[in-house]
């Protein structure tokens, strides 16, 4: 049941408010759509607006957020324990770390390891970022090392997922014991699906980059499209089917190479 309200904007034009949204927060998942965004002005993010789409307050063990950077917007991180994955959605930013500055344009991304001091600056009119942030879970027995680097989605090969040419996967981070998370981009041709209903202890944070589809989250079915963000908690039943006339693409985070905490 929806209750429709009428109001008038500053030009006197009548507007109808239904109180309807596709956004939903459940016990072990959330779907946040752009119409539900509430931007924050945070001291660390100068001349920026930050929109959190997943955080510990809803049950997640990581943060996923969007950043709208105005001209001159900046951020500096000196966290000793948090690692970041940044993806440029629009515009161009300057990212400085380890004595070098990288210019990341749309589809450029960077991984910043825990303890890496880095600085972001928007030198254009505006820029939009997607970020994943979590505390690093070390594994002392490993001999490999986590690194910070900058790259682009155009430089990461897309491989058929389980032999399906209609579902292509780009792995943005190495799959090695020292790395405690993975961030991938999944592209589905119209009609393509995940091969099974997945159910596992790893969390997911997900953001739709392109297209539309249907996502099963637990016992619920949701229409999803570009700009939507999803958090999936442990052991949530999950499945996706791409619809529409163009391919559907999303980026997602998952825990890697660590057993469940006891």
Cα separation values, 239 from 5, 64, 128, 225, Å: 36, 21, 28, 15
207 in Cβ contact with 187 (< 8 Å):
no
Q: Tokens 């900058």 sit at which residue?
A: 150
pLDDT of 15 reads: 60
- pLDDT per residue as tens digits for the range 89-135: 999 999 999 999 999 999 999 999 999 999 999 989 999 999 999 99
- Nearest-angstrom CA–CA distance, 76 and 74: 7
pLDDT of 1 reads: 46
Burial 110-140 (b: 16+ CB within 10 A, else e): bbbbbebebebbbebeebbbbbbbbebbeee
- Give the three-state DSSP class for 60: coil
For the chain, the C-alpha Rg in angstroms (whole number) is: 19
Cα separation values, 237 from 42, 212, 213, 240, Å: 35, 20, 17, 11
pLDDT of 8 reads: 59
- Nearest-angstrom CA–CA distance, 26 and 89: 27
- Split the chain (262 residues) into runs of 10 and give each run's mean pLDDT: 55 69 96 97 97 97 97 94 98 97 98 97 95 94 90 97 95 96 98 96 97 98 98 98 96 94 68
pLDDT of 14 reads: 60
Residue 105 pairs in a beta bridge with: 92
Q: Tokens 């998942």 sit at which residue?
A: 29
Query: With helix as H, strand as E and coil as C, how does 34-52 read?
Result: HHHCCCECCCCEEEEEEEE
pLDDT of 261 reads: 78
pLDDT of 142 reads: 78
pLDDT of 123 reads: 86
pLDDT of 9 reads: 60
- pLDDT per residue as tens digits for the range 151-166: 999 999 999 999 999 9
81 in Cβ contact with 115 (< 8 Å):
yes
- Give the three-state DSSP class for 157: coil
């Amino acid at each position: 049941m929806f209750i429709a309200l009428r109001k008038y904007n500053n030009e006197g034009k009548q507007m109808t408010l239904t109180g309807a949204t596709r956004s939903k927060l459940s016990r072990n998942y959330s779907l946040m759509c752009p119409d539900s965004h509430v931007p924050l002005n945070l001291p660390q993010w100068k001349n920026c607006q930050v929109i959190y789409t997943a955080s510990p307050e809803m049950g997640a063990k990581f943060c996923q957020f969007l950043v709208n950077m105005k001209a001159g917007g900046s951020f500096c991180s000196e966290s000793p324990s948090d690692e970041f994955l940044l993806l440029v959605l629009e515009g161009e930013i300057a990212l400085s770390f380890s004595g070098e500055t990288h210019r990341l344009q749309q589809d450029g991304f960077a991984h910043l390891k825990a303890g890496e001091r880095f600085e972001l600056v928007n030198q254009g009119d505006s820029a939009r970022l997607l970020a994943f942030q979590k505390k690093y879970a070390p594994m002392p027995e490993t001999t490999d090392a986590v690194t910070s680097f900058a790259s682009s989605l155009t430089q990461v090969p897309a491989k058929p997922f389980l032999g399906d040419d209609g579902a292509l996967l780009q792995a943005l981070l190495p799959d090695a014991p020292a790395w405690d998370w993975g961030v991938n981009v999944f592209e589905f041709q119209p009609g393509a699906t995940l091969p099974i209903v997945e159910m596992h202890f790893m969390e997911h944070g997900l953001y739709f980059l392109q297209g539309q589809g249907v996502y099963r989250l637990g016992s619920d079915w949701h229409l999803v499209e570009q700009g939507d963000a999803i958090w999936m908690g442990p052991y949530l039943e999950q499945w996706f089917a791409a619809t529409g006339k163009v391919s559907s693409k999303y980026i997602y985070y998952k825990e890697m190479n660590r057993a469940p905490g006891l």
